[in-house]
Amino acid sequence: MIKVITYGSFDMLHEGHVRLLKRAKALGDHLTVGVTTDDFDRARGKINVRQSLMERIEAVRNLDLADEIIAEEYEGQKIDDIQRLDIDIFVIGSDWTGRFDYLREYCQVVYLPRTEGISSTDLRSNDAPISLGVTSGTALPVKALEQSRYVNGLSISGLCVPDAGAVKEKPEGVPFITDDYRELLDRSDAVYISSDPSRHYEEIKLALERGMNVLCRTPIAIRTRDFDELEELASSKGLVIVDAIKTAYCQAYTRLLLLLKSGIIGEVLSVDSTCTSLRDQDIEDADPGTWNSLCLWGIFAMLPVFQILGTDYVSKRIITRFVNRKTFHDGFTKIDFLYPGAVASVKSGQNVKSEGELVISGTRGYVYVPAPWWKTDYFEVRYEDQTKNRRFFYQLEGDGIRYEMLAFVNSVRSKRHTKAVDESVSRAIVKVLEDFYAGVDLTEI
């Protein structure tokens, strides 16, 4: 019996895939198809795959060509599969010519001509791209603009900055710059709000009223009543507001949350997270309503607390050292949360330097995420018996912004809200900010 194997993502299965599989099948008596897992696709830079692994496997199965379907999970798996499954022929499309010659040591390698004129990329981009208008505070959102290029189905329509006339050089790929937010909305399908936090409520409201979906750099608002009003408006219009906390979209972080749910360290008793960034920024003379340390860094530090321990804390204590009390610019803020049976502590600031790590302590062990934990590709689960320690690595490209943009595109397309950050978590964050500005539970040092 001649055994054949081939691999692929098989996203939005099309004629090119079908022809390849038919020819592969015809080369032997038994065909194994390896379908790439979402993780492996991400790791090899394919972030725009639309369908889940199950959907893609189902589509291949329905063709009734594969005798066996397996998941392709990691680089180097092919050698193992070929030996384990006793494969005679490895088949792949001609777009990979030469790349798999190293497998000749184990079996015959056949490159079949690729079917011209059709691809998953074309099918994905058949839907007109979402033209995204971007608003920004003082600085140009260079990182966001750059990251948007990696996201299929998204194009930047224009940029709104307070002093548009002063921008000497238009960033690459930005068709226009304005200081008129309404003009930006007129010329866009959706909006990415990265202006100062005090402007978010107004800007989101205007966009929603015009029926536009919103991706908002966290926080969505700084008052809970504003937050509730916006969420209600969005849901009444069938629109989404995605809370852009990039960490929430990083794979290592999301996997960490799942592992904790599975009880890998037992019951969680304490979450300690620190996010600081010592910059020469002049926060002393910053205008009121502009980014303070709590909004810029405190929110990232709070995210794991609310996602792991929930939002029903019994009490909290916010301890702040202001750089400018009048404008609410904090140099250092520490918040302690008390939960029934657990505690959490977050430290954030721009006028302080500390180890930016995340430690989650449980009854059986602890998780350690090294600095800078908020854009990590790696963490460790540690136990009393060190031989049981486990390390986890994941691919991270471009610190998470491209993933939050991708999640936004997918939510808009599917009209299903991404659950990366639950509404209750976004609201709990807004509540802490509200209390901070109102002086509730606040101690100054």
Binding stretches for ligand C2G (CB under 6 A) = 7-11, 16-17, 20, 36, 72, 92-93, 95, 114-115, 118-120
**Could you count the other beta carbons within 10 Å of the beta carbon of residue 79?**
14
Task: List phi, psi (to 5°) of 359.
Answer: -125, 125
Rounded to a whole number of angstroms, the minimum distance from the CB of residue 120 to ligand C2G is: 6
Q: Which is nearer to ligand C2G, 90 or 436 (CB)?
A: 90
Rank residues 11 and 330 by Cβ distance to ligand C2G and give the closer one.
Answer: 11
At its nearest, how many Å lie between ligand C2G and the CB of residue 92? 4
- Stretch (H or E) spanning 366: strand 366-369
Q: Considering the complex, what minimum distance in angstroms separates the CB of residue 52 from ligand C2G?
A: 14
Minimum distance, C-beta of residue 38 to ligand C2G, in the bound complex (Å)? 13
**Which amino acid makes up residue 128?**
A
**Residue 26 contacts by C-beta under 8 Å, 6 or more apart in sequence?**
none
Residue the block writes with tokens 């926080």:
219
> Of the two residues 37 and 148, which places its CB atom closer to ligand C2G in the complex?
37
CA distance 252 to 376: 7
Q: Compare residues 105 and 285 and give the one whose CB is closer to ligand C2G.
A: 105
DSSP run (H or E) holding 443: strand 442-444
- How far apart CA 345 and CA 108 sit, in angstroms, is 58
Choice between 8 and 349, CB closer to ligand C2G: 8
> How near is the Cβ of 12 to ligand C2G at its closest, in Å?
9
Spatial CA neighbour of 374 closest among 210, 254, 290: 254
DSSP for residue 365: -
Q: How far is the CB of 104 from ligand C2G (least distance, A)?
A: 16
Minimum distance of ligand C2G from residue 40's CB (angstroms)? 8
Query: CA 323 to CA 329: how far, in whole Å?
Result: 6
Q: Are 370 and 376 in contact (CB under 8 A)?
A: yes
Dist CA 16 CA 20 (whole Å): 6
| Residue placing its CB nearer to ligand C2G in the complex, 121 or 235 | 121
Q: Which two tokens stand for residue 87?
A: 């494969």
- Specify the residue, 22 or 225, whose C-beta has the smaller distance to ligand C2G: 22
Q: Which residue is nearest to ligand C2G (CB)?
A: 93
